[in-house]
Amino acid sequence: MKCREFREIADSYLSDELIVETNHDVISHLEQCAECRRELAARRELRSKLREAFIKAPENQMQPEFTDRLSTELHEYALGKRNAPIVSPRASQSSVMLRRTSWLALAACLVLAAGFGLVLVQQRISKPQQPGNREFAGGNPTPNYSSEINPAIPVSIVKTELAKSAVGDHRDCAIHFRLAEKPIDLEVAGRKYDPVYINLTKAVLSQQADAPLDAQFVEAHSCVFEGRRFAHIVLKYHGRLVSFLVTDIGRTKEPKADAARTLVDQQPHVIACSQIDGYQVSCFATARHAIFIVSDLPEGDNLGLALALAPSVFAHITRTENAA
Amino acid sequence: MFGIAPKRESLVAGEAQWERFEVEAMPHAASLFRIALWLTRDQTEAEDLVQETLTEALTSFHRFVQGTNCRAWLVSIMYHRQSKRRRDVTRLRLVSEAEERIAETIAFEPPTPQGLTDEEVLGALERLPPAFQEVVVLADIEEMSYKEIAAAIDVPMGTVMSRISRGRKLLRAELATYAQAHGFGRSGEQRTSEFPKNG
């Protein structure tokens, strides 16, 4: 090994990132070369100095009050005694925008926030509906409920790859933000791909406006997970992120899908539940679309949210499908 | 229907989860804060980011694989959250072609200077282009492996290796220029006065 080659990999040697053979070459070279030994010692000292200076810099220290508050709030959150001690993404963005954008942009932001309504509607169903009870007081279709999968509900949907895709989208988009394709505006996607996306957010947010749920709107967009496009509305409920996902199932000509559609046509309002990869999934369907509610909430809460949102969403999607 | 107090079983389960989390994740809070501060350049935003990160980690703690690097897992969550925060309000921070070119042009490497003060070292780090600063902070200060960095900032490992190499090289070049200008270098060499001598 030559000195020039050594200097190229000296840092990786210090980081223990070299393969065994190269490590051996480095050691052999160092045994013979005093100048490279000095260079290695200097780099080691620089790294140590950099680390020490950065870690002990006064501005890089956490305030003791913050440390205590963080620990206390996380502990209480773990015990379920409080909602997540979390600054909502929307609120954080607003705080950033306060510092970085003009008052005009801020005003536009506030108008948008007011338009969407940050707070959703209170659950008005105090207990789960019994199977067979399909009429809502207002005349809207009411979802049926079953705590266990039974043949009358869309098992074909909630147990399929489709539901796994919904869970994958929730995980990779809402939780980890690592989708390969950047999400696009929901209304734009509605004009381009699927008209039911248009005004879907309104259908979700206007649901039960007279009895607000303790849930927050986070964002709405359309995204693609493993080739399947979803309308994706992200909510925060009891401190957890919840994905409300709508996807088209009506365009395939596969016999199984046709059978599922027939079942759905007969039982359009049922909700099926399942657990996939540790997430709770509630699902209902219209003639051409499957709707998923995915979260890591307890099963009852996830289902309760699905039950609360289903009527207006079902009505909106069905109306749009019939008009198409 | 939704405001029911936690049951005894869930309290016990929550306490058990918290005990594990407190041992595995909470010791990394200070490290997370340093990275958050570097990412946001704002004390309050850094605190928010740490809080969001640890809350999400606690919620997803059942997915953490025991025996793997918890800090790398937490940093990865933090980067995803920060990327989400930035998505709509700022443009993506990319390494500009100009910065890449600057890094490419360091053909000659002077010997690494010694005897530097903390301020001098941190000043040189601050002057690096952000994308190079980022990987140097994660690799040399937070001591994350190349693989862990690649996963956290979501870029290919080859790119991480290349940026770390260039970042370290730029840092050394910056410090060597500084040392030369102030008349000192390797250990043992006399450091001249900061002030010009009279006469």
The lowest-confidence range among A103-112, A282-291, B118-127, B156-165 is A103-112
Q: Cα-Cα-Cα-Cα dihedral of B138, B139, B144, B146, to 10°? A: 110
In A, minimum Cα distance to B48 occurs at A87
In B, minimum Cα distance to A127 occurs at B1
**A11, A51, A84: residue with CB nearest B55:** A84
In CATH terms, are B11-87 and B97-181 the same topology? no
**0.80 exceeded by pTM:** no
| Average pLDDT for B155-180 | 86
The lowest-confidence range among A135-149, A234-248, B5-19 is A135-149
B34 to A70: CB separation less than 8 angstroms, yes or no: no
**pLDDT surpasses 80 at A37:** yes
Give the pLDDT confidence of A44-81 residue by residue, as tens digits: 888 888 888 888 888 888 888 888 888 888 888 887 76
Identify the pLDDT of residue A229.
93
Give the pLDDT confidence of A73-111 residue by residue, as tens digits: 888 888 776 666 545 444 444 343 334 444 444 454 454
The lowest-confidence range among A16-30, B4-18, B70-84 is B4-18
Identify the pLDDT of residue A126.
35
Cross-strand pairs, A274: A281
Contact A315, A140 (CB under 8 A): yes
Residue A245 phi, psi (nearest 5): -120, 135
Look at domain B11-87 and name its CATH class. mainly alpha
**pLDDT surpasses 50 at A225:** yes
B154 to A178: CB separation less than 8 angstroms, yes or no: yes
What are the residue boundaries of the structural domains of chain B, listed by start?
A: 11-87, 97-181
**Which range, A17-26, A258-267, B89-98, B162-171, is most confident?**
B162-171
Residue A270 phi, psi (nearest 5): -75, 155
In the chain, the amino acid numbered B54 is L
The reply to whether CATH 3.40.50.2000 applies to domain A155-323 is no
Identify the pLDDT of residue A7.
85
Residue B63 CB neighbour total at 10 angstroms: 13
**Whole-number Å distance between alpha carbons of A59 and A43:** 25
**pLDDT surpasses 90 at B183:** no
In chain B, what residues touch A239 (CB-CB under 8 Å)? 55
Give the pLDDT confidence of B105-147 residue by residue, as tens digits: 555 566 777 778 888 888 888 888 888 888 999 999 888 888 8
Give the pLDDT confidence of A230-277 residue by residue, as tens digits: 999 988 887 788 899 999 887 544 444 444 444 344 444 556 777 788
| Average pLDDT for B172-199 | 59
Q: Which of A272, A190, A265, A178 minimizes the C-alpha distance to A233?
A: A190
The reply to whether CATH 1.10.10.10 applies to domain B97-181 is yes
| Average pLDDT for B74-85 | 84
Give the rounded percent of residues in chain A with a pLDDT score beyond 90: 9
**Which range, A28-37, A116-125, A233-242, B92-101, is most confident?**
A28-37
What are the residue boundaries of the structural domains of chain A, listed by start?
A: 3-59, 64-116, 155-323
Identify the pLDDT of residue A244.
93
Please indicate if any CB of chain B lies within 8 Å of the CB of A54.
yes
Read off the tokens for A177.
Answer: 């933000």
DSSP assignment of chain B equals ---PPPPHHHHHHHHHHHHHHHHHTGGGHHHHHHHHHHHH--HHHHHHHHHHHHHHHHHTGGGSPTTS-HHHHHHHHHHHHHHHHHHTTS------HHHHHHHHT----PPPP-S--HHHHHHHHHTS-HHHHHHHIIIIIS---HHHHHHHHTS-HHHHHHHHHHHHHHHHHHHHHHHHHTT--STTSPPPPSSPPP-
B45 to A92: CB separation less than 8 angstroms, yes or no: yes
In B, minimum Cα distance to A78 occurs at B14
A240-248 and A279-285 as β-strands: parallel, antiparallel, unpaired? unpaired
A89 to B84: CB separation less than 8 angstroms, yes or no: yes
Distances (CA, A) of A49 to A53, A58, A86, B36, B113: 6, 15, 35, 21, 12
Read off the tokens for A132.
Answer: 């067979």
Give the pLDDT confidence of B20-50 residue by residue, as tens digits: 888 888 999 999 999 998 888 888 889 999 9
